[in-house]
Amino acid sequence: MANIKVIVAGPRGRMGFEAVKLVHNTEHFDLVAVIDRKHDGGNLSDVEGFQGIDAPIFSDIKECFSKVEADVLVDLTTPEVGMYHTETALQYGIRPVVGTTGFTKEDLAKLDALTKEKGLGCIIAPNFAIGAILMMKFSQMAAKYFKDVEIIEMHHDQKLDAPSGTAAKTADLISSVREAKVQGHPSEKETIPGARGADVEGMRIHSVRLPGLVAHQQVLFGSAGELLTVRHDSFNRGSFMSGVKLSVETIMNLDVLVYGLENIIE
Ligand SMILES: NC(=O)C1=CN([C@@H]2O[C@H](COP(=O)(O)OP(=O)(O)OC[C@H]3O[C@@H](n4cnc5c(N)ncnc54)[C@H](O)[C@@H]3O)[C@@H](O)[C@H]2O)C=CC1
Ligand SMILES: O=C(O)C1=N[C@H](C(=O)O)C[C@H](O)C1
């Protein structure tokens, strides 16, 4: 079988850097281009940290897709550009694997329609780490029995979006098995706005941002006389790479939108 031709958007970012190395080091993947805001027209091998990794650099995604033959776009950029890149890839017949977070429900609905129209797969993965996917699934299982839930997500202080994509996805999975419930005291009042966190159907999400952290989440389930805590920690960005690899391989056989890797892991 032919190698899978991959474009990475956001190569100089924390995640993009790891993804470029993964694609470069995987025998059946070819890194055919990168999309970067800087170094337009240059080659990645001339950029500090990427010596020996040959790939043309484009700043304009449409120019890149017009000039370079590719199967998959791996997007690891920002909430502002992630949606534009994803839609553009589908328009050009390229399958998007999207790690970028911050997509709204409206964005997902739009992408669902576009993948159907184009007959192309698209993976939106709020978290590529296998442990995080299990943490979300275990939380969904627990929510059948515990209706009172608080999600605490903790990330490095350079993160742009809050709550994290993982926390939003966790709330989404829990909502699918739990009826909306107002938690806490019915008369509770915040004396400092935001003290009780974001409200998703009565569930609370708290976002912690601190230097030194990578990506961590705990989901707390309380009931009379007991507390269940489901927790996951990513200590480095290598933890996400097996999920990126699986996504690039799997998307070649998909023709629908997949939101969350729990839908493709066996
Ligand atoms: N799904 C997952 O498992 C994970 C997802 N993420 C998400 O991935 C995204 C990136 O995270 P980090 O690498 O930590 O951020 P980062 O800030 O280190 O990297 C983002 C990169 O995108 C680049 N960029 C911005 N606009 C661009 C454009 N128009 N064209 C090309 N490149 C552009 C920036 O120059 C930067 O290098 C975030 O949305 C984050 O939430 C992060 C870790 C794991
Ligand atoms: O920005 C990050 O770092 C991460 N973002 C993703 C999210 O928003 O959930 C995945 C992981 O938590 C790391």
CATH assignment of the domain containing 153: 3.30.360.10
| Chain mean pLDDT for the chain | 97
Atom of ligand 1 nearest to the CA of 12: 37
Q: Is 221 in the pocket of ligand 1 (CB under 6 A)?
A: no
What would the mean pLDDT of 55-60 be, rounded to a whole number? 98
Q: Is the pTM of this model over 0.90?
A: yes
Question: What is the spatial distance between Cα 93 and Cα 230, in angstroms, rounded to a whole number?
Answer: 39
Question: What is the spatial distance between Cα 259 and Cα 250, in angstroms, rounded to a whole number?
Answer: 13
Whether residues 115 and 38 fall in one domain:
yes
Per-residue pLDDT at 266 exceeds 80: no
Read off the tokens for 20. Answer: 């470029």
Query: What does the radius of gyration of the chain's CA atoms come to, in whole angstroms?
Result: 20
Which entry of 24, 155, 206, 216 is annotated as an active-site residue?
Answer: 155
Which ligand gives the minimal distance to the CA of 208?
A: 2
Question: What is the spatial distance between Cα 178 and Cα 142, in angstroms, rounded to a whole number?
Answer: 10
Whether residues 105 and 12 fall in one domain:
yes
Task: Please tell me the total count of domains within the chain.
Answer: 2
What would the mean pLDDT of 171-192 be, rounded to a whole number? 96
Residue 195 confidence (pLDDT): 97
| Chain Cα centroid distance, residue 209 | 18
> In this predicted model, what pLDDT tens digit does every residue of 193-211 receive, in sequence order?
999 999 999 999 999 999 9
Whether residues 180 and 202 fall in one domain:
yes
- Percent of the chain's residues with pLDDT above 90: 98
Whether residues 15 and 109 fall in one domain:
yes
Residue 122 confidence (pLDDT): 98
Whether residues 227 and 170 fall in one domain:
yes
Q: Is 123 in the pocket of ligand 1 (CB under 6 A)?
A: no
The CATH number that applies at residue 15 is 3.40.50.720
CA dihedral 140, 265, 130, 10 (to 10 degrees): -110
Whether residues 95 and 164 fall in one domain:
no
Tell me which H or E stretch contains 4: strand 4-9
Residue 205 confidence (pLDDT): 98
Whether residues 148 and 26 fall in one domain:
no
Whether residues 138 and 219 fall in one domain:
yes
- Percent of the chain's residues with pLDDT above 70: 100
> In this predicted model, what pLDDT tens digit does every residue of 89-99 receive, in sequence order?
999 999 999 99
Per-residue pLDDT at 1 exceeds 90: no
Residue set of the binding site: 10-15, 38, 99-101, 125-128, 156, 165-166
Pairing of strands 226-234, 215-223: antiparallel
What would the mean pLDDT of 134-144 be, rounded to a whole number? 98
Q: How confident is the model at residue 143 (pLDDT cuts 50, 70, 90)?
A: very high
Whether residues 120 and 13 fall in one domain:
yes
Residue 9 confidence (pLDDT): 98
Whether residues 30 and 70 fall in one domain:
yes
Beta bridge partners of 30: 5
Whether residues 155 and 51 fall in one domain:
no
Per-residue pLDDT at 136 exceeds 90: yes
What would the mean pLDDT of 226-242 be, rounded to a whole number? 98
Q: In 91-202, at which residue ranges do the beta strands (DSSP E only) sit?
A: 95-98, 122-124, 148-155, 198-200
Per-residue pLDDT at 79 exceeds 90: no
Per-residue pLDDT at 117 exceeds 90: yes
> In this predicted model, what pLDDT tens digit does every residue of 21-34 receive, in sequence order?
999 999 999 999 99
Question: The domain containing residue 29 runs over which residues?
Answer: 4-124+238-263
Token pair 């915040």 is found at: 190
Question: What is the spatial distance between Cα 153 and Cα 215, in angstroms, rounded to a whole number?
Answer: 8
Whether residues 50 and 64 fall in one domain:
yes
